[in-house]
């Protein structure tokens, strides 16, 4: 489950672009706020200003571009379109590599189309913010765990860009180098780094910002899926405590707060295995995320415990009695181990 699960989470994350703050952004004026003026080693107020500008641009902007995710050993590309039309947010993400698939978002619902299997999977938008929204949950404590350094301006995908370093203050998270469009604040690129070495780079190789909304591009693809088998995985919001589990707060990595907990099915289209109910607990420090998956141990599926690394994403799997735990996140392995050790089954 390890590597396959990590890959599926990467794919799913793309469709969340711009989800955070979308309702607020629709009510704002079209002129983007000016970038904060700050020197290296900036204050918490400066950091809040930059994060707010990036967050609002992700929701407010209409853009079309090519998105690349490079892990050092592989590169995955997607064609991305994000449009606001009245009170409706539309997105389309077409994978250009690997298994053919399209992800279509209309407000809070996402449809993933798998032409090979003629399957359409319909799910709610993931609560984790992703590129280019950047921030998840509360921004309040981000300055406690990341130090902002404003670096020299740069250019990305043909756009003048402000470059920022969010330097981790402890060993439970990685550094993030961020490039934001100078004119609009739209996030153009993010590098996840450890001691100056880039583990993963995600961003646009080309992007047109301020394009006319193209709702037809989304709805036309929906019509192409007429006749597909529709799968609506059951996603039930719950709490760890209600499912017989708890987290020992003192053992968790500092700064991570719960974004929620759901019970869901995790099987991918084309698999013949019986669908399994999986409990997913989602955590964030405001910049990065960790998901902890809990499910019954199945020897035919859960073959090997251990660590899998794809770019900055680490996946740790472990058997605990009759349960199988999977922790996934763009954090160091030791942080994932802390999440697993903090999890406690209630008697």
Asked if residue 206 and residue 185 are part of one domain, the reply reads: yes
Asked if residue 39 and residue 100 are part of one domain, the reply reads: yes
- Exposed (0-12), middle (13-18) or buried (19+): which is 219, by Cβ within 10 Å? middle
Instruction: Output the pLDDT for position 86.
Output: 86
Asked if residue 109 and residue 189 are part of one domain, the reply reads: yes
Instruction: Output the pLDDT for position 130.
Output: 59
Q: State the average pLDDT over residues 146-162.
A: 96
Asked if residue 245 and residue 118 are part of one domain, the reply reads: no
Calculate the CA dihedral of residues 180, 182, 184, 190 and round it to 10 degrees.
-10
Asked if residue 150 and residue 213 are part of one domain, the reply reads: yes
Q: Which of 22-26, 128-132, 169-173, 331-335 has the lowest mean pLDDT?
A: 22-26
Express as a percent the part of the chain with pLDDT over 70.
82
Where is the domain boundary, 229, 261, 280?
Answer: 229
Instruction: Output the pLDDT for position 37.
Output: 52
Asked if residue 302 and residue 240 are part of one domain, the reply reads: yes
Asked if residue 168 and residue 28 are part of one domain, the reply reads: yes
Decide if 255 is inside a domain: yes
Asked if residue 299 and residue 158 are part of one domain, the reply reads: no
Decide if 213 is inside a domain: yes
The rounded mean pLDDT for the chain is: 85
Q: What number of CA atoms fall less than 13 Å from residue 272's CA on the CB side?
A: 1
Distance between CA atoms of residues 123 and 137, nearest Å: 20
Q: Is 90 exceeded by the pLDDT of residue 26? A: no
Decide if 264 is inside a domain: yes
Asked if residue 324 and residue 261 are part of one domain, the reply reads: yes
Asked if residue 73 and residue 218 are part of one domain, the reply reads: yes
Q: Is 80 exceeded by the pLDDT of residue 2? A: no
Concatenated DSSP letters of 156-210: ETTEEEEEEEEEESSTTS-EEEEEEETTT--EEEEEEEETTEEEEEEEEEEEEES
Decide if 270 is inside a domain: yes
Instruction: Output the pLDDT for position 300.
Output: 85
Asked if residue 237 and residue 224 are part of one domain, the reply reads: no
Instruction: Output the pLDDT for position 148.
Output: 94
Decide if 171 is inside a domain: yes
Q: Which domain holds residue 317?
A: 233-345
Where is the domain boundary, 210, 229, 248?
Answer: 229
Contacts 24+ apart (CB under 8 A), 81-85: 81/214, 81/217, 81/218, 82/17, 82/18, 83/211, 83/213, 83/214, 83/215, 83/218, 84/22, 84/25, 84/26, 84/59, 84/60, 84/213, 85/213, 85/215
Instruction: Output the pLDDT for position 33.
Output: 54
Count of domains forming the chain: 2
Decide if 304 is inside a domain: yes
CATH number for position 162: 2.50.20.10
Separation in Å, CA 252 to CA 99, 280, 345:
36, 16, 15
Where is the domain boundary, 195, 229, 263?
Answer: 229
Instruction: Output the pLDDT for position 127.
Output: 59
Asked if residue 119 and residue 56 are part of one domain, the reply reads: yes
Strands 236-238 and 119-124: unpaired
pLDDT top residue among 56 and 33: 56
Distance between CA atoms of residues 326 and 307, nearest Å: 10
Q: Is 70 exceeded by the pLDDT of residue 80? A: yes
CATH number for position 300: 3.30.200.100
What digits encode the pLDDT tens for the residues 269-300? 555 555 678 999 999 999 999 999 999 998 88
Decide if 222 is inside a domain: yes
Instruction: Output the pLDDT for position 279.
Output: 95
Decide if 5 is inside a domain: no
Query: What predicted TM-score, i.e. pTM, was given to this entire model?
Result: 0.83
């Amino acid at each position: 489950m390890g590597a396959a699960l990590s890959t599926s989470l990467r794919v799913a994350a793309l469709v969340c672009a711009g989800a955070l703050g979308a309702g607020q952004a629709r009510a704002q004026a079209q002129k983007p706020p000016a970038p904060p003026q700050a020197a290296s080693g900036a204050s918490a107020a400066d950091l809040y200003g930059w994060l707010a500008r990036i967050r609002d641009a992700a929701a407010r902007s209409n853009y079309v571009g090519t998105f690349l995710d490079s892990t050092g050993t592989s590169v995955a590309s997607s064609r991305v379109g994000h449009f606001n039309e009245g009170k409706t947010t539309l997105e389309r993400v077409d994978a250009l590599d690997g298994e053919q698939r399209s992800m279509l978002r209309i407000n809070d619902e996402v449809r993933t189309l798998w032409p090979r299997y003629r399957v359409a999977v319909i799910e709610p938008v993931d609560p984790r913010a992703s590129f280019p929204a950047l921030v998840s949950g509360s921004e309040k404590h981000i300055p406690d765990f990341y130090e902002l350094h404003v670096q020299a301006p740069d250019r990305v995908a043909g756009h003048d860009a402000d470059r920022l370093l969010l330097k981790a203050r402890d060993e439970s998270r990685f550094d993030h180098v961020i490039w934001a469009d100078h004119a609009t604040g739209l996030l153009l690129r993010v590098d996840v780094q450890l001691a100056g070495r880039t583990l993963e780079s995600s961003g646009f190789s080309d992007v047109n910002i301020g394009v006319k909304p193209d709702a037809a591009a989304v709805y036309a693809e929906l019509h192409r899926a007429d006749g597909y088998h529709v799968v609506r995985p059951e996603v039930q919001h719950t709490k760890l405590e209600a499912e017989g589990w708890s987290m020992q707060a003192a053992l968790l990595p500092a700064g991570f707060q719960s974004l929620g907990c759901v019970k869901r099915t995790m099987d991918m289209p084309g698999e013949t295995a019986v669908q399994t109910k999986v409990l997913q607990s989602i955590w964030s420090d405001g910049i990065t995320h960790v998901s902890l998956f809990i499910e019954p141990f199945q020897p035919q599926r859960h073959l090997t415990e251990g660590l899998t690394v794809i770019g900055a994403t680490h996946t740790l799997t472990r058997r605990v009695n009759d349960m199988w735990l999977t922790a996934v996140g763009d954090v160091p392995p030791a942080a994932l181990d802390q999440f697993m050790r903090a999890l406690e089954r209630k008697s």
